[in-house]
Amino acid sequence: MIGLPDGAPDTPFLAVDIDVMERNLTRTATSAAERGLALRPHAKTHKVLEIGRRQLELGAVGLTVATVGEAEVFAMGGFDDLFLAYPVWATPSRSARLRAVAERATLTLGVDSVEGIEELAGGLSGSGVRLMIEIDSGHHRSGVQPNDAGALAAAAERAGLALAGVFTFPGQGYALDGRAKAAREEAEAIERAAASIERLGIDVVVRSGGSTPTLADADSSVLTEIRPGVYVFNDAQQTELGSCTFADVALTARATVVSRSGPNAIIDAGSKVLGADQPGWVTGGGRLPDYPDARIVALSEHHATVRFPSEAPPPPRGTVVRVAPNHVCSAVNLADELIVVQNETVIDSWTVAARGANN
């Protein structure tokens, strides 16, 4: 029975099927290479040094990180090319930390405002950091409108900070039937942003996009680089978006049925193991790959209530089941270690080195 691998700890815990992960890594590395796209995976998904190293071995040009803390962990781990894809607000304290990272690694920072650039220039001029201007391609979170990119490039030039290029996160692709459209919007926004900068005679070398849902549709005639994160493990959201199937889900929580009530089983993995992410378009609080018709209808901290269809009643108490979290980045950030499994036998464990490195 798939469930509790030989040598596993007590449930609940997160297990990585290393063969599935390797297939995911290889598939995306190959696809990027074939399309002439540089691959710079987002390490916020896995936060694991061993996985980052494998991504580089397979051809990644460097890693993307989300926080200064993640940049510190990966720089200390020997990674020498890091892009912090976030509109960094460089207080003196944060600038000092970034300068230390920049002594170990080629460091590129996201910016999305003239004020942010001026703040950075104060603490980081002469540090060798390069900037990437964040573009809003339709997700409407951070990032400037494409036509405003030129103003930021000019501000960077005035501040004496080198511009590497432009980037966007097409998060609007996280919607049913939204993937192809988001990829088109991504390319259009990047193209317009680059044009607004080149008009000033400033080069735009890196044109970076990408997310796991838009990966397959990323426009290699515009983009030079993609930054997917989730693809390493995949998750329940990606299966429901259609970016992958259950066979591509490399990370699952392993959980025990501890209680039953009518059509429901209660399992011991709740929001403190799976994360509580639940966008409106998903069908529940995670998915059970071995019970595709079951749904997680309620999630509390240490309980998931799993409803089984009437023709297939819940498994008995004590059964260990696999659960794909909705959003694997959140689940990994809850765990201190990932249990590495091959053929349902534990072969290793990896420290989630950047767990909680959120500032």
Whichever of 201 and 316 has its CB closer to a second copy, that residue is 316
Separation between Cα atoms, residue 225 and residue 296, nearest integer Å: 36
| Smallest separation, CB 257 to a second copy (Å) | 8
| Smallest separation, CB 335 to a second copy (Å) | 7
359 by Cβ neighbours in 10 Å (0-12 / 13-18 / 19+) ranks as exposed
Of residues 39, 66, 67, 69, the one with CA closest to residue 54? 39
Dihedral of CA 35/39/44/46: which sign?
positive
| Helices and strands (DSSP H and E) totals, the chain | 10, 16
Whichever of 34 and 140 has its CB closer to a second copy, that residue is 140
| Smallest separation, CB 26 to a second copy (Å) | 26
Whichever of 29 and 255 has its CB closer to a second copy, that residue is 255
| Smallest separation, CB 11 to a second copy (Å) | 6
Residues engaged in binding a second copy (CB under 8 A): 9-13, 44, 66-68, 86-89, 91, 93-94, 97, 112-113, 115-116, 119, 136, 140-143, 171, 256-261, 266, 268, 271-273, 275-278, 298, 300-303, 305, 316-318, 327, 329-330, 333-336, 356, 358-359
Helix (H) or strand (E) holding 87: strand 81-87
Whichever of 136 and 185 has its CB closer to a second copy, that residue is 136
Whichever of 221 and 261 has its CB closer to a second copy, that residue is 261
| Smallest separation, CB 34 to a second copy (Å) | 30
98 by Cβ neighbours in 10 Å (0-12 / 13-18 / 19+) ranks as buried
Whichever of 37 and 90 has its CB closer to a second copy, that residue is 90
| Smallest separation, CB 106 to a second copy (Å) | 22
Whichever of 68 and 232 has its CB closer to a second copy, that residue is 68
| Smallest separation, CB 278 to a second copy (Å) | 7
Per 3-state DSSP, what percentage of the chain is helix, strand, and coil (rounded to 5)?
A: 35, 25, 40
Residue with tokens 């980045």: 329
Separation between Cα atoms, residue 96 and residue 124, nearest integer Å: 8
Beta bridge partners of 86: none
